[in-house]
Amino acid sequence: MCNVKNMRNVTHVDSHTSSSQSRVSYAAFAAFGMFWGAWGAALPSIRSQADLNDGQLGTALLFVGAGALPAMFLTGRLLDRFGTRPAALFLGFLGGTGVGVAVGAQGFISVVVSMLLVGAASGTADVAINTLAGQAENQTSRAVLTRSHGMFSLAVVVSSLGAGALLTLNLGLTVTFTVVAFVMLVLAAVVWLKAPGREHSSHSDAPVRSAAAPLMRGTTSVCALLLLGAVGALAYATENAHQSWGAVFMTDNFEASPQLAALAPASFATAATLARFALAPLSRSHPIALLVTGGAVATVGSIILAAAPNAPAGLLGLAIAAAGTAVLFPTLLSHSLRHVEPVQRGGATSVITTSAYLGFLLGPAYVGLLANLAGLRLAIVAVAALALIFTIVAVPVSRNTPRLLSPRDGARGRLPDSNNYMVRRDGITPQSMPE
């Protein structure tokens, strides 16, 4: 009787802990979405305040990547060592950089410097919150990653509409981003108080870790993670191109007011939110089918947007593109991290997310540079091409993910993990363990 009662208590505690970790992940992604929702709505105002053309804005956005990539490479190791609590600090820093952009966007050079800071903050926060969600998904066996990205999209809706309203009232960029930063700090405080510490190895999950093996110790594994990141970059490029340039597209082609222009990122994020919450279970049960369907839908939506004759048609195209792109990266990441050892998930997430983040950063710049050369509509057609390429390559890469990330001790100088030896002394080898 005592044993049964103790088991019930443990189950209750584990369930409460798992639920708490999921909520922390949702809070982190909500904070991240608050920034990017305001960012998408404010880009036309940033461009006007700094007196930039489309080419200059596209070039300035490239410097977001210059700030992000070095920071992102270091973030995974930091999280593996100290746990996911630093995510709160990164989110707070990101909120502060938004205020910095609002104050400092007075010319091309000042915008470039501000973009470097935004990149560093956004890159570290992106790796941290994805690691946090991946850890929660591993412990709960639920689609936490996809739902967390859905929470991001929901926050983008709220933030973009709110930022559009503040800008329409002529309160300015500084007030807008100060309000956003305050909300982000509140959510970051929740993450700081509730985020779990570093994951440790335990005998109970040693067989699973043994089957996953030390992923970061061999050339094959790193190359596989980079390949997955490259595929994710296509998804991210498509998503952020629409998210960043939707308001500008509405402004330039339909002479939209700030409030109407803000409907572009809001409609995109609304469709993304609905898709992510509705399709989250499929990200675990049918990931490959979801990737292919999502890529095809994103391609069609991008073409509709490029050919839109009026604002409603443009918003419809954005919504369709959003429904397709919304599930691409979270599904790809979730499918990949299932084959990663828990204590190395931060490092693996860093490699995949950093590589994919190149697309997130280059997507808006890609549109800006092409728009300066051939017009914004043709630039959106080029975004449709990215979505089509993703659709083509996602199937072979995803189907081979288990093989690409499976351990091959001794191959190319890979050293087995010490925990592997502990399991083998019990007479169990990685080859004999279940998937």
pLDDT digit string, tens, across residues 171-184 = 989 999 999 999 99
The pLDDT assigned to 147 comes to: 87
Q: Which of 429, 38, 403, 424 lies closest to 224, judged by CA?
A: 403
Q: Identify whether the C-beta of residue 143 lies closer than 8 Å to the C-beta of residue 281.
A: yes
pLDDT in tens, 277-335: 888 888 878 888 999 999 999 999 999 999 999 999 999 999 999 999 999 988 988 88
Asked whether residue 407 carries a pLDDT value surpassing 70, the answer given is no
Q: What is this structure's pTM?
A: 0.71
Asked whether residue 198 carries a pLDDT value surpassing 70, the answer given is no
Residue 383: band (very low, low, confident or very high) from pLDDT cuts 50, 70, 90 = very high
The pLDDT assigned to 385 comes to: 96
In degrees and rounded to multiples of 5, residue 43 shows phi and psi of: -55, -45
Asked whether residue 20 carries a pLDDT value surpassing 50, the answer given is yes
- What number is the average pLDDT over the span 9-14? 44
Asked whether residue 211 carries a pLDDT value surpassing 70, the answer given is no
Specify the DSSP element, H or E, that contains 151. Answer: helix 144-168
The pLDDT assigned to 284 comes to: 77
Q: Identify whether the C-beta of residue 21 lies closer than 8 Å to the C-beta of residue 135.
A: yes
Average pLDDT of the residues of the chain: 79
User: For 55-59, which contacts have Cβ atoms below 8 Å and span 24 or more sequence positions?
Assistant: 55/368, 55/369, 55/371, 55/372, 56/108, 57/368, 58/364, 58/365, 58/366, 58/367, 58/368, 58/369, 58/371, 58/372, 59/365, 59/368, 59/369
The pLDDT assigned to 304 comes to: 96
- What number is the average pLDDT over the span 370-377? 91
Q: Identify whether the C-beta of residue 391 lies closer than 8 Å to the C-beta of residue 198.
A: no
Residue 252: band (very low, low, confident or very high) from pLDDT cuts 50, 70, 90 = confident
Q: Identify whether the C-beta of residue 299 lies closer than 8 Å to the C-beta of residue 388.
A: yes
The pLDDT assigned to 16 comes to: 54
For residues 410 and 301, which has the higher predicted lDDT (pLDDT)?
301
Specify the DSSP element, H or E, that contains 130. Answer: helix 108-140
CA gap 122, 212 in Å, rounded: 30
- What number is the average pLDDT over the span 189-217? 54
pLDDT in tens, 155-173: 988 898 899 889 888 898 9
Highest mean pLDDT among 46-50, 152-156, 334-338, 377-381: 377-381
Q: Which of 131, 132, 133, 117 lies closest to 68, judged by CA?
A: 117
The CATH classification number of 25-197+204-432 equals 1.20.1250.20
pLDDT in tens, 283-296: 878 888 999 999 99
For residue 211, give both structure tokens: 């089957």
Q: In the chain, where are the structural domains located?
A: 25-197+204-432
Tell me how long the chain is.
435
